Structures are given as structure tokens and as C-alpha cells.
Structure 1
Amino acid sequence: MTQAKWNDTLIAESDDIVTVEGNAYFPKEAIAPAMLKDSATTSVCPWKGTAHYYTLVVDGAENKDAAWYYPEPKDAAKEIKGRVAFWKGVTVG
């Protein structure tokens, strides 16, 4: 079982992980919706497509753009559709 934690709080837990470029992509359903706040931030990967971001919200604290996902990934990355990955102090293991 792979877990994602921030500030000693469990953010996500799943045994259905897709790893791409060293990042664990969790099913979105593995994350409590209240912990994800939409962000206007986007970035572009040449082979995955346009990433969108979430700000994590835990006990009133926010971690801006600490999670990302590809709503419409390119064909080469289709296995990460509907999945979310983390960074910015979120520990995954």
C-alpha cells in the first residue's frame, strides 16, 4: 500500500499506483475531496500534455499547487488519466 502524507496527515492511500518519471500517481478517488482545492496553475509536458494543479488543504493549512493531474493526457500518458501526483513536501512511500 502506497501512502502520501503532508504535515503528518494521510492525504492518499492506494495499492493501485501508476509510476511515471518517478512520481506515484494515485487514483483521484483515494484522496478526500475536501483536501483538494482547485488552482488556476497549469504547466505543459511535451509528451504528457497540460497539467493542472490542486492546492492541498489540511487542518486549515494550505500547500499551494502541491498536487497535479492531467485531465486530458496525450496518448503516451493515457494511464495517468484520473490520477493525481504530489510534491512540495508531500512524502510518498
Structure 2
Amino acid sequence: MTLNLPSKEEARLCASVVKDIARVKGVTDDPSSIGTLTITVARLFNSGVRERDALLSEAMKIAGIPVARKERYALLDAFPDINPGTIDLSMEPENERGHQQQ
């Protein structure tokens, strides 16, 4: 039995799709979610979905993310510098920030 591995370019394509979806879903630090996304993208790729836009669109449908081009890029660009789990202190109510203003 011969195992056909993807080329470096094909592997990079799949990895970039996984990375984009993980960023939109906010699961970049969740290994289980990344694994699930990786399997989803790999299955789509192996079934013949080889173009980046089509691969991204199909994987986003499966992941439950809006796939309209305008919506997709709005989601990617909406919060470019926010990391999941980060608390922005400026968003806390005034009475809870008092301990930091000593």
C-alpha cells in the first residue's frame, strides 16, 4: 500500500485554512478544536476540494461560520489584536477597577 503525502504547498494551503478558521472561531489555543479543524480540512482536501477559497468556504460551513465573502473578511478583520481570554481593563465597570487606581 502506497501512502501519498501532500506536497509542501498543499500542506501549507491546508494549514493556512485551519489557521484562518481557528482565528475566526477564537480557538487558536485549543488543541482539540485545532485537531478537529485539521481533520475537516484534510477530508475536504482529499475529497477533491483543492482551491483555497472553495476549501475555506466548505470548511467554514462545516464549522458553522458565515461564509459570505463580506462576512468572512469582516470577522477576520474585526478584532485583529485581541487574544482569546484576554481581559481589556478599560471594559471593566468603574467600581471594579478601583483596586488598580491606587
What band does the TM-score fall into relative to the shorter chain?
under 0.3
Please give the TM-score of this superposition, normalised by the length of structure 1. Answer: 0.21
The structure with more strand, counted as a fraction of residues: 1
The structure with more helix, counted as a fraction of residues: 2
Higher Rg: 2
Higher relative contact order (CA 8 A, sep 6+): 1
